[in-house]
Amino acid sequence: MASVTFENVTKKFGDVVAAKDQDLEIKDKEFLVLVGPSGCGKSTDLRMIAGLEEITEGKIKIGDRVVNDVPPKDRDIAMVFQNYALYPHMNVYDNMAFGLKLRKFPKEDIDRRVNDAAEILSIEPLLDRKPKQLSGGQRQRVALGRAIVREPKVFLMDEPLSNLDAKLRVQMRTELSKLHDRLKTTVIYVTHDQTEAMTMGDRIVVLKDGFIQQVDSPLELYNKPNNMFVAGFIGSPAMNFLDATIHKDGNEYFAEGAGAFNIKIPDMFKEKVKEYDNKKVVFGIRPEDLTDARISHDLDITKENSFEAEVEVVEPMGSEIYLYLSVDEHSMIARVDAESDAKVGDKIKLGVYTQKMHIFDNETEEAIF
Amino acid sequence: MPLTLKDIAEMVGVVESTVSRAINDKEGVSEAKKKEILKIVEEYNFKPNKLAQGLAKQETHILAVLLPGLSQGNYSKIIENIEAMAEKAGYQIILCNTHNDLTKEKTYLDLLEEKRVDGAVILGGEIADHQILNTKLRGNNNIVLVNRLCEEILIPTILIDSSYGSYLATKHLLDLGYKNIALITGNNNDYIESEKIKGYNQALIEQNKKINHNLIIETDGSRSAGYQAFIDLVNIKTPPDSFFVTDDLLSVGLVEAVKMGGYFIPQDYPVVSYGGTIINSIIEPDLTRVIEPLSQAGKMAADILIKLINDKQAEEKIKVLKPTLKKSDSTKI
């Protein structure tokens, strides 16, 4: 068990920067998820920890030891990928044990490790079976078992579930989280899937173009994104962004959008927008923080917390409805209660839970609140 | 001066790409023009410049074959077949002897990363190391492993089930009624040798025989080690009544020692060998031996690699080939 620390880590491939001046402290026994779109550098980060990629600048520590020059085999890590190899002529036991055998571990030690891993993964009855006799989920567990028997200080997982069908992926997500609880080991997990990140991580690192955008717990990321990228990346459907201008009216501040809306900034955020009077900003609101004013039970609709929008598509999801709307020239989505009877072409009033709204700097895209 | 595409284009009055399309039987050329072009190609015995073609497509038509050393007899057969298959498909091979040295291996893997070869077959050795892993992960480079395992990811692999071969050999001796079968192996660090021990154990267990670890000798795989193994084993408290030797070179040494001791094969000690390479053919008597499908392994490795290079491999697979037992004079009682 160990912490992993990045100190000013930079990785360049020629002129391409895959990691830029990254500082990160992954705590011992933490389940940390690296998430971001394709090409953001998340797999590069993982490979640098593994020692597969050399770092260009900075330091990586596993525990207290700087591992920049430590070969991968001596780093006490184990990697799990989506595309693992189970050898068809070997039974489950041998598929988990061959690495230890070839490293000359004593037989008793191998037995203990494989049996322990099999118990943790609940695959003890399968040890004599060949891979073709296993289900997809069981195979995935064997691949995990091969990593577990190495008893590493840190598990590195690179999109291990992305080859599975949707149902199995959801099941394995839960299993991996439980596994982490049982192993009590540091897990660093790479995914492009924000749902996976939100449901599994103790903390999440959001990456873009090699830069760390934010490191936080799932809820903090969701509720307090640092910038528009994080706000848009985390959450599904994604946060709505509308161009707006801050203006002051008496003691109040408003986010005004080309005559289409004029939302009052709640008192708790007033201080933060003082400097932005008459400046362009981006107004952000999550789909679930909008409501169909006609069926709103817990929001007193006023002209300062609502605006009109035209319904373009209605998508009933069972317990709720997704409304695809147009406001001025912008498109947006509202996730409203299933009671809503909004129809395509209707002009409806949308209520805004203003305490949940976000305002971003128009130029830097950083969150003002 | 040989004729070039440009020359043909000028002769026919079309652009070079039209000539190229006609030669490569691609669409977009009228039948009449195609006929005209192909007639000139035949008349002047035009051969497209492979180097120029390769440069244009960023292909070298060269495959690297990485191996830990040439001393093991079975590599030559595999390489021979990789070469034959490669040649048929218009590829040449270069041999890269790594001597199990990571620095050397890195130099050869760099050929792949730098696109100086189109793909690599990596033969034998221990577990696929971080360099192989990274070469595969980085640019999704075309690699096929032969008799080498990888713990982390699936790389197309050809494996010969040497455990099964060893099982066949041991079972054969058991079926003949021998009870104390000695196993002489090469280096157990090698995946293949460890698999052979597994097969030996499995055959014994299946027939409810106890595994006597005193009868299992691990050696460096040399001829002298085979010789020494016999001397060591005949002097133990319960000496063996038969021998299974997992490598040809070891067999040569062991047979020498048996004969030197004044014993007869198979009357005093039946011997089963593993490999069936040329070394085996000069031993008297002819040895019963496990024969590995080496030609098939080589052909298959090259075939998969070339398909990968040409994006024709639908999915990455592991193929396991089974050895056979050729019974001969050394176990004929």
The DSSP result for A301-314, as a single string, is --TTSEEEEEEEEE
CA distance B109 to B141: 10
Report pLDDT digits (tens) over A230-258.
Answer: 999 999 899 999 999 999 999 999 999 97
Inform me whether the pLDDT recorded for B52 exceeds 80: no
**B134 to chain A: which residues are within 8 Å by CB?**
47, 52-53
Q: Chain B partners of A89 at a C-beta cutoff of 8 Å?
A: 159, 161, 163-164, 320
**Which residues of chain A approach chain B closer than 8 Å at the C-beta?**
43, 47, 50-53, 71-73, 79-81, 83-85, 87-89, 94, 98-99, 101-102, 104, 146
Contact check, Cβ <8 Å, B137/A47:
yes
Look at B316 and A83 and tell me if their CB atoms are within 8 Å. Answer: yes
What pLDDT, in 10s, does the model give residues B109-147?
A: 999 988 899 999 999 877 888 899 989 888 778 999 998
Q: Rounded CA gap, A51 and A39, in Å?
A: 19
Q: pLDDT by residue (tens digit) across A315-340?
A: 999 999 999 999 988 899 999 999 99
Given an 8 Å threshold on Cβ–Cβ distance, is A87 in contact with B318?
A: yes
Q: Between chains, do A88 and B318 touch, taking CB under 8 Å as contact?
A: yes
Contact list in B for residue A95 (CB cut-off 8 A) is: none
Contact predicate A14/B113, CB 8 Å: no
Most B CBs within 10 Å, among A44, A80, A82, A87, to test the B interface: A87
Tell me which chain A residue has its CA closest to the CA of residue B318. A87
Are the C-beta atoms of B223 and B253 separated by less than 8 Å? yes
Please give the model's pTM, rounded to 2 decimal places: 0.84
pLDDT at B299: 95
- From the list B152, B143, B166, the residue with the least C-alpha distance to A95 is B152
Burial A167-194 (b: 16+ CB within 10 A, else e): ebbebbbebbeebbeebebbbbbbbbbb
CB contact under 8 A, B155 and A104: no
A-interface mutation test, from B109, B114, B130, B188, most A Cβ less than 10 A away: B130
B129: closest CA of chain A, how far (Å)? 9
- Whether the ω angle into residue A37 lies within 30 degrees of 0, i.e. cis, is no
**Cβ pair B149:A87 closer than 8 A:** yes
State which of A198-207, B92-101, B190-199 shows the largest mean pLDDT: A198-207
Q: Does the pLDDT at position B28 exceed 60?
A: yes
What is the rounded radius of gyration, in angstroms, for the C-alpha atoms of chain A? 25
Instruction: Tell me the pLDDT of chain A averaged across its residues.
Output: 94
Distance from the Cα of B10 to chain A's closest Cα (Å) equals 42
ipTM of the complex: 0.82
State whether A89 and B134 contact (CB < 8 Å): no
Percent of chain A, pLDDT > 90? 85
* Nearest residue of A to residue B191, measured between CA atoms: A102
Determine the residue among A102, A128, A149, A156 to mutate to test chain B binding: the one whose Cβ has the most chain B Cβ atoms within 10 Å: A102
Q: Do A333 and A325 form a contact (C-beta atoms < 8 A)?
A: yes
Q: Determine, for residues B134 and A52 on separate chains, whether the beta-carbon distance falls below 8 Å.
A: yes
C-alpha span between B75 and B98 (Å, rounded): 13
> Per-residue pLDDT tens for A13-69?
988 999 999 999 999 999 999 999 998 999 999 999 999 999 999 999 999 999 999
**pLDDT per residue over B200-258, tens digit each?**
999 999 999 999 999 999 998 889 999 999 999 998 999 999 999 998 889 999 999 99
User: Rounded to a whole number, what is the distance in Å from the CA of B226 to chain A's nearest CA?
Assistant: 23
On chain B, the residues whose CB falls within 8 A of the CB of A87 are 149, 159, 318, 320
Quick one: pLDDT band at residue B18, thresholds 50, 70, 90?
Answer: confident
C-alpha to C-alpha distance for B222 and B204, rounded to whole angstroms: 26
- Return the DSSP state at A275: G
In terms of DSSP bridges, do strands A57-62 and A4-13 run parallel, antiparallel, or are they unpaired? antiparallel
What pLDDT sits at residue B51? 56
Is residue B314 over pLDDT 60? no
Sheet containing A57-62: give its strands across: A16-26, A4-13, A57-62, A65-66
Q: How confident is the model at residue B54 (pLDDT cuts 50, 70, 90)?
A: low
Q: What is the pLDDT of residue B3?
A: 76
- Tokens standing for A211? 């830069």
Round to whole Å and give the CA distance between B137 and A131: 24
Please give the DSSP secondary-structure letter assigned to residue A259: T
Residues of A in contact with B152 (CB under 8 A): 79-81, 84
Distance (Å) from the alpha carbon of A89 to chain B's nearest alpha carbon: 7
Cβ contact (<8 Å) for B130 and A50? yes
Q: Do A102 and B153 touch (CB under 8 A)?
A: no
pLDDT one-digit tens code per residue, A178-187: 999 988 999 9
Q: Is the pLDDT of residue A368 over 70?
A: yes
The answer to whether A112 and B183 have CB atoms below 8 angstroms apart is no
Residue B189: pLDDT over 70: no
**Looking at beta carbons, which residues of chain A come within 8 Å of B153?**
81, 83-85
CB-nearest partner of A104 from B164, B189, B316: B189
CA B204, CA A313: separation in Å to the nearest integer? Answer: 71
Q: How confident is the model at residue B39 (pLDDT cuts 50, 70, 90)?
A: confident
> Could you tell me which chain B residue has the CA closest to the CA of A145?
B151
Minimal Cβ distance to A85: which of B126, B194, B318: B318
* Site from A13, A76, A77, A79 to mutate, B interface, most B CB atoms within 10 angstroms: A79
Residues of B with CB under 8 A from a CB of A: 126-127, 129-130, 133-134, 137, 149-155, 157, 159, 161, 163-164, 188-189, 191, 194, 198, 316, 318, 320
CA distance A79 to chain B (A): 6
| Contact flag A47-B157 (C-beta cutoff 8 Å) | no
Residue B316: its chain A contacts at CB < 8 A?
A: 83
- Whether residues B152 and A80 touch (CB distance < 8 A) is answered with yes
Specify the pairing of strand A31-35 against strand A186-191: parallel
Q: Do B194 and A88 touch (CB under 8 A)?
A: no
Q: Which residue of A has its CA nearest to B321?
A: A89
A and B: number of Cβ contacts within 8 A: 61
Mutant choice from B114, B130, B152, B216 vs A, greatest count of A C-beta within 10 A: B152
| pLDDT at residue A130, rounded to an integer | 96
Quickly list DSSP for A97-139: HHHHHHTT--HHHHHHHHHHHHHHTT-GGGTTS-GGGS-HHHH
Beta-strand pair A154-158/B324-326:
unpaired
Query: Would the CB atoms of A85 and B130 count as touching at under 8 Å?
Result: no
